[in-house]
């Protein structure tokens, strides 16, 4: 039986091309600028839902638009009212931030002397490499009467994945604050974080911990690092083009070259689970469903030129780009392809 | 001129009272410039070229993803904007005459470029059109679709709003990212993500309901849709995470 996404693709594709006359550039431009009246917008959306050509035109129009923030694009007329409704929430948030900021000042100031090189600057933030940051922190701990706050740090140094950027904020004669920014959030990592009930995804871009906050059991940093380590161990194979196709089965420590059944120059690689796609010069495209053990050449009629990019979102959905700018897509694991 | 715009945009011979809001939303300055250019006013053309020439070339290059094709595309659109054909009275037929001021002139020019690119340049390089190239024959996976399942899915899709169908088509058929869809709808990608989850969950319920109505046992109906809706949620979340990764790169 087909999965729901496959079923939707199949039935949505059957509805394409049923739309009537195409809208003129004026209506499409007004739609892109979010300035169509509601009724006309609904009517245009009905057409767009069934017309891939107009969706492509709309997409190209917006791609070339000078980037503006979403708030710039869609500011409701009653935005000041919305702001007014949130004023108490904003005030409470500011009060909470202020409370957190002042809490660590109870720690004796002698524990954290300011760096002699920057005595005149009241607050400076340095971006340091993790290796450079650690001795600074350890030195501080020796002088500190309360060594607890730095307890998670040795655990952080054992993480084999990409090192998070560590920013050490050093206020003059003020408490130490550590900001840990995971550089590449992992989707599986997201599962380790608490999920809100309203469906919003957790913000993985940064988590902030002051010295006092590090003691709090609620902070998921140690869990987070343990999860990263577990994910690293679970990862079976890594792939790269260097420029030969290479594979690592020990988390990147050793790499071996994988032979492809034809002598072609490869430019693109994408993996999804045990499914591996590689593409290269003269439209060469190969697919392996067993993590690179066996390869099958894939022929796409009318595809010309080098394949420079492959994006395999899952085992069925694959999109590739050629050097000439053409984009081809398959939604059934590479059985059928269509040009976008 | 405004009466002409109202007549052509709202299909009304006179300016109705309720069209005041419509008139207020028009980009009148740019509309005047476009109409002056369409009439052949040299000063207006000079101003138009000074303002939009480089922007047009940049947009054309970005659309065509090639400088040479972009130049060719922009030149072709310029010819249409200037007008290469003449009316009976000897005046030029300019494409700028069709600009109604409902969006910015720059946005309209980008749309005209995109239309021209899709209609002319891509069709030249294609042996089949996009619509034709969508293979509507039953796929391997679709072979096992029963008539009841197809009927139930079609009915559930038909019951969706046009915006919801647009969202599904953009995501599942075109493979657009959540951010791209968000830009099209003027919404944040997280909003698009939530809506996708909600729509797919609702579709699943509706399809199962319709299958049950056609006499299929609920358990069997659920087995026909052998994917758990949580997997769909994961797919959406994966998409969002991938976009964040690519943005951070």
DSSP state of B12: -
Q: Do A60 and B117 touch (CB under 8 A)?
A: yes
Distance from CA of A231 to the nearest CA of B (A): 16
| pLDDT computed for residue B108 by the predictor | 92
**Which of the listed residues B91, B125, B159 is the one where a domain comes to its end?**
B125
Residue of B nearest to A340 (CA): B130
pLDDT digits (tens, 9 = 90+) for B225-239: 764 444 444 455 555
Residue of A nearest to B233 (CA): A199
DSSP state of A302: T
**Which of the listed residues B125, B150, B170 is the one where a domain comes to its end?**
B125
Q: Do B32 and B109 sit in the same domain of this protein?
A: yes
Kindly list the residues from chain B whose CB atom is less than 8 angstroms away from the CB atom of residue A186: 241
Q: Do B180 and A25 touch (CB under 8 A)?
A: no
**Which of the listed residues B125, B153, B183 is the one where a domain comes to its end?**
B125
Q: Do B95 and B49 sit in the same domain of this protein?
A: yes
Q: Do B159 and B95 sit in the same domain of this protein?
A: no
Kindly list the residues from chain B whose CB atom is less than 8 angstroms away from the CB atom of residue A73: 183, 186
Q: Do A36 and B182 touch (CB under 8 A)?
A: no
Q: Do B103 and A33 touch (CB under 8 A)?
A: yes
Q: Do A204 and B244 touch (CB under 8 A)?
A: yes
Which residues, in sequence order, are CB contacts of A104 under 8 Å at separation 6+?
Answer: A175, A176, A177, A210, A211, A212
Instruction: Report the domain count for chain B.
Output: 2
pLDDT at residue A178 is higher than 50: no
- The span from the CA of B144 to the CA of A329, in Å, is 22
More confident residue, A259 or A235: A259
pLDDT digits (tens, 9 = 90+) for A102-131: 775 544 444 444 444 444 334 443 443 444
| pLDDT computed for residue A13 by the predictor | 83
Written as six digits, the tokens of A201 are: 């995804």
pLDDT at residue A188 is higher than 50: no
| pLDDT computed for residue B193 by the predictor | 92
Kindly report the number of other CB atoms within 10 A of residue A55's CB atom: 24
Calculate the alpha carbon distances from A141 to A135, A180, B57, B121 in Å.
10, 18, 60, 67
| pLDDT computed for residue A114 by the predictor | 42
Q: If you average pLDDT over residues A265-272, what whole number do you get?
A: 86
Average pLDDT, chain B: 78
Interface test with B, best of A20, A21, A33, A202 (most B CBs within 10 A): A33
Rounded to two decimals, the pTM is 0.47
Distance from CA of B103 to the nearest CA of A (A): 5
Q: Where are the domains of chain A?
A: 4-72, 76-106, 108-232, 238-339
Q: If you average pLDDT over residues B136-155, what whole number do you get?
A: 66
Q: Do A10 and B194 touch (CB under 8 A)?
A: no
Q: Do A201 and B240 touch (CB under 8 A)?
A: yes
Q: Could you tell me if residue B131 is inside a domain?
A: no
Kindly list the residues from chain B whose CB atom is less than 8 angstroms away from the CB atom of residue A317: 175
Q: Do A16 and B64 touch (CB under 8 A)?
A: no
| pLDDT computed for residue B168 by the predictor | 92
Q: Do B13 and B77 sit in the same domain of this protein?
A: yes
| pLDDT computed for residue A76 by the predictor | 44
A2 — pLDDT class (breaks 50, 70, 90) = low
pLDDT at residue B200 is higher than 60: yes
| pLDDT computed for residue B170 by the predictor | 92
**Cα–Cα–Cα angle for A34, A199, B199, nearest 5°?**
60
Selection from B64, B188, B163, B51 nearest residue B122 by Cα = B64
Which residues, in sequence order, are CB contacts of B181 under 8 Å at separation 6+?
Answer: B167, B170, B171, B189, B192
Q: If you average pLDDT over residues A28-44, what whole number do you get?
A: 86
Q: Do B94 and B146 sit in the same domain of this protein?
A: no
Average pLDDT, chain A: 66
Residue of B nearest to A75 (CA): B186
Q: Do B165 and B112 sit in the same domain of this protein?
A: no
More confident residue, B155 or A190: B155
More confident residue, A297 or A74: A297
B186 — pLDDT class (breaks 50, 70, 90) = confident
Q: Could you tell me if residue B136 is inside a domain?
A: no
Q: Do A4 and B127 touch (CB under 8 A)?
A: no
Number of inter-chain CB pairs under 8 A, A vs B: 264
| pLDDT computed for residue A155 by the predictor | 43
A76: region left, alpha or beta (phi > 0 left; psi from -120 to 50 alpha): beta
Q: Do B7 and B120 sit in the same domain of this protein?
A: yes
Q: If you average pLDDT over residues A161-186, what whole number do you get?
A: 42
Helix, strand, or coil (residue A273): coil
Q: Could you tell me if residue B57 is inside a domain?
A: yes
CATH number of the domain where residue B211 is located: 1.10.10.10
Q: Do B111 and B10 sit in the same domain of this protein?
A: yes
| pLDDT computed for residue A97 by the predictor | 86
| pLDDT computed for residue A226 by the predictor | 55
Written as six digits, the tokens of A239 are: 């792939």
Q: Could you tell me if residue B137 is inside a domain?
A: no
pLDDT at residue B209 is higher than 70: yes
User: What string of DSSP letters covers A103-131?
Assistant: GGGGS-GGGSPPPTT-SS-SEEEEEE-HH
Q: Could you tell me if residue B61 is inside a domain?
A: yes
Using CB atoms, pick whichever of B118, B150, B239 lies closest to residue A57.
Answer: B118
**Domain coverage including residue B36:** 2-125
Helix A38-50 to helix A25-32 angle (10° resolution) is 110
Q: If you average pLDDT over residues B72-101, what whole number do you get?
A: 83
CATH of domain A238-339: 2.40.10
Q: Could you tell me if residue B130 is inside a domain?
A: no
Using CB atoms, pick whichever of A5, A15, A326 lies closest to residue B232.
Answer: A5
Using CB atoms, pick whichever of A43, A55, A65 lies closest to residue B169.
Answer: A55
Kindly list the residues from chain A whose CB atom is less than 8 angstroms away from the CB atom of residue B200: 4-5, 8
| pLDDT computed for residue B243 by the predictor | 52
pLDDT digits (tens, 9 = 90+) for B151-168: 888 888 989 999 999 999
Calculate the alpha carbon distances from B196 to A316, B34, B153, B169, B200 in Å.
19, 40, 16, 11, 6
Residue of A nearest to B31 (CA): A26
Using CB atoms, pick whichever of B170, B182, B227 lies closest to residue A70.
Answer: B182
Q: Could you tell me if residue B45 is inside a domain?
A: yes
Q: Do A317 and B175 touch (CB under 8 A)?
A: yes
């Amino acid at each position: 039986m087909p999965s729901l996404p496959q079923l939707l693709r199949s039935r949505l594709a059957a509805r394409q091309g049923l739309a009537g006359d195409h809208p003129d550039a004026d209506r499409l431009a007004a739609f892109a600028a979010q300035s169509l009246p509601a009724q006309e917008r609904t009517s245009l959306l009905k057409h767009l839902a069934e017309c891939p050509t107009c969706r492509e035109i709309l997409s190209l129009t917006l791609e070339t638009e000078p980037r503006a923030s979403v708030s710039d694009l869609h500011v409701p007329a009653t935005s000041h009212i919305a702001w007014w409704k949130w004023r108490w929430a904003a005030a409470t948030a500011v009060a909470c931030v202020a409370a957190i900021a002042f809490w660590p000042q109870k720690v004796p100031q002698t524990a954290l002397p300011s760096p002699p090189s920057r005595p005149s600057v009241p607050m400076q933030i340095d971006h340091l490499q993790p290796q450079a940051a650690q001795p600074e922190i350890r030195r501080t701990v020796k002088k500190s009467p309360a060594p607890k706050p730095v307890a998670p740090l040795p655990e952080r140094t054992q993480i084999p994945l990409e090192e998070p950027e560590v920013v050490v904020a050093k206020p003059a004669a003020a408490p130490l604050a550590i900001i840990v920014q995971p550089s590449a959030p992992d989707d599986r990592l997201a599962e380790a974080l608490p999920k809100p009930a309203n469906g919003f995804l957790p913000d993985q871009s940064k988590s902030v911990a002051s010295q006092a906050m590090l003691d709090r059991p609620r902070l998921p940093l140690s869990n987070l690092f343990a999860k990263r380590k577990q994910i690293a161990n679970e990862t079976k194979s890594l792939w790269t083009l260097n420029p030969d196709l290479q594979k690592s089965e020990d988390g990147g420590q050793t790499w071996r070259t994988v032979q492809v059944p034809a002598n072609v120059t490869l430019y693109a690689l994408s993996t999804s689970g045990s499914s591996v796609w590689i593409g290269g010069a003269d439209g060469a495209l190969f697919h392996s469903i067993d993590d690179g053990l066996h390869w099958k050449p894939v022929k796409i009629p009318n595809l010309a030129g080098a394949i420079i990019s492959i994006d395999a979102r899952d085992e069925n959905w694959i999109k590739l780009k050629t050097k000439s700018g053409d984009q081809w897509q398959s939604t059934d694991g590479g059985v059928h392809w269509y040009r976008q | 001129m405004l009466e002409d715009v109202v007549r052509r945009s709202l299909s009304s011979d006179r300016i109705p009272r309720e069209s005041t809001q419509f008139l207020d939303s028009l980009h009148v300055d740019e509309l005047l410039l476009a109409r002056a250019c369409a009439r052949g006013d040299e000063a207006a053309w000079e101003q138009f070229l000074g303002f939009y020439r480089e922007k047009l070339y940049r947009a054309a290059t970005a659309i065509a993803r090639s400088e040479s094709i972009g130049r060719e595309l922009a030149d072709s659109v310029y010819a249409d904007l200037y007008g290469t054909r003449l009316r009976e009275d000897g005046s030029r037929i300019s494409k700028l005459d069709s600009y109604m001021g409902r969006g910015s002139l720059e946005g309209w020019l980008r749309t005209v470029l995109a239309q021209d690119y899709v209609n002319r340049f891509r069709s030249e390089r294609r042996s089949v059109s996009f619509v034709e190239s969508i293979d509507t024959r039953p796929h391997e996976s679709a072979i096992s679709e029963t008539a009841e399942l197809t009927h139930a899915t079609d009915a559930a899709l038909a019951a969706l709003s046009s915006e919801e169908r647009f969202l599904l088509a953009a995501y599942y058929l075109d493979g657009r990212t959540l951010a791209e869809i968000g830009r099209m709808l003027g919404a944040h990608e997280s909003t698009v993500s939530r809506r996708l989850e909600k729509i797919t969950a609702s579709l699943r319920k509706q399809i199962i309901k319709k299958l049950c109505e056609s006499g299929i046992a609920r358990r069997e109906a659920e087995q026909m849709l052998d994917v758990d809706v949580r997997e769909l949620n994961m797919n959406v979340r994966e998409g969002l995470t991938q976009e964040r990764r690519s943005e951070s790169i």
